Amino acid sequence: MENILHLWENTGLYQMQPGQGIMIAIGMLLLYLAINKNFEPLLLVPIGFGGVLANIPGAGLAEHGGILHIFYSVGIESGAFPLIIFMGVGAMTDFGPLLANPRTLFLGAAAQFGIFATLMGAVVLSTFGIFDFSLADAAAIGIIGGADGPTSIYVASKLAPDLLGAIAVASYSYMALVPLIQPPIMRLLTTEAERKIKMVQQRHVSQREKIIFPLLLLLLVAFLLPDAAPLLGMFCFGNLMKECAVVDRLSNTTQNSLINTVTIFLGLAVGSKLSADKFLDLTTLGILLLGMIAFSIGTASGVVMAKIMNKISTKPINPLIGSAGVSAVPMAARVSNKLGLEADPHNFLLMHAMGPNVAGLIGSAVAAGIMINYVTGG
């Protein structure tokens, strides 16, 4: 009888706490969204599954010594996984559209306003005692507005490891929701005539320029903002491997097998942060809300900046490409293209929008560097 009782006490059913049950359901919901609705499946499948694993009562997969905890401490706590992902993203990025029209970098800069506005929002909320965020927490939450998963995870692991689960889930879900969140804001801020603006065909960019650009960027980072060097350094390294065309084997590995391998472990490790005691409170709700605001402000400020540039510049600039300044590559550029086609079926903005899109990636990495510099040094 005692043995049976012992066995019963070891079952999941006996040990299950309501929080864990809810978190398993949330994990399943993420899996459903990924599999059935095709929302960022590459990330939400590992994250969702990791979330379910982490909440199995009594198994302790996410506790000290558990396998998910090991993934977490090896890859995320050390900052390695987001950096390896950034290297892969670098190897997949084509700087051609950006080099053809370097001024689109300003759009990438403007869209980072979402990050800082949200940081301010989080600080104001905790000043009024609604939430209790420190400056580091607020910075990590703001970076969601960059709509750049690896950067968010990197910053969160440095500044606010406790909030990592919520921040990662928020930033990846908003990346998936780009096609839903952005268009209404873009339509609101532009007129029909502005959306019809056609842009000049881009010039040809030579191979030499493409090889030198990552080195130039690296030097600038080295001189001006060493705190962004881990992120942008890996990014430039990946890009140089692609463009120099003498290490195709390395570049292929980085773009494919390596980034895929790391994505699996990154997803599981992020999932391990979805444990009930950390995730199920009002703070998470606040983070999701603030992240959404960050993202919307980023989109809006990108569009407004593009409108200003269109007024000043001699060459026409369609304001729709401004929204691509939030980094979510390449979804944001596709959204710009789609809205351009809606206004005029012959208006192809995709390549023009890739410029600000890549600029946004650089911009949010720079913003991340500044936040880390200010918070840890100041």
| Residues at the contact surface with another protein, assessed by CB under 8 A | 98-99, 102-103, 105-106, 108-109, 112-113, 115-117, 119-120, 122-124, 126-127, 134-135, 138-139, 205-206, 208-209, 212-213, 216-217, 220, 224-225, 359, 362-363, 366-367, 370-371, 374-375, 378
Nearest in space to 267 (alpha carbons), one of 30, 44, 38, 40: 44
**From the CB of 363, what's the least distance to another protein, in Å?**
6
Between CA 143 and CA 149 the distance in angstroms is 9
Where is 50: in which H helix or E strand? helix 41-54
**From the CB of 127, what's the least distance to another protein, in Å?**
5
Nearest in space to 229 (alpha carbons), one of 219, 239, 238: 219
- Other beta carbons within 10 Å of 242: 23
**From the CB of 333, what's the least distance to another protein, in Å?**
18
Nearer to another protein, 101 or 173 (CB): 101
**From the CB of 352, what's the least distance to another protein, in Å?**
16
DSSP 202: P
Between CA 324 and CA 251 the distance in angstroms is 26
**From the CB of 274, what's the least distance to another protein, in Å?**
28
- Other beta carbons within 10 Å of 14: 12
Distance set, CA 176 to CA 4, 33, 330 (Å): 47, 10, 11
Nearer to another protein, 133 or 265 (CB): 133
Nearer to another protein, 103 or 198 (CB): 103
Nearer to another protein, 269 or 317 (CB): 317
At 117, give phi and psi (nearest 5°): -65, -40
**From the CB of 373, what's the least distance to another protein, in Å?**
9
Nearer to another protein, 98 or 270 (CB): 98
Nearer to another protein, 134 or 253 (CB): 134
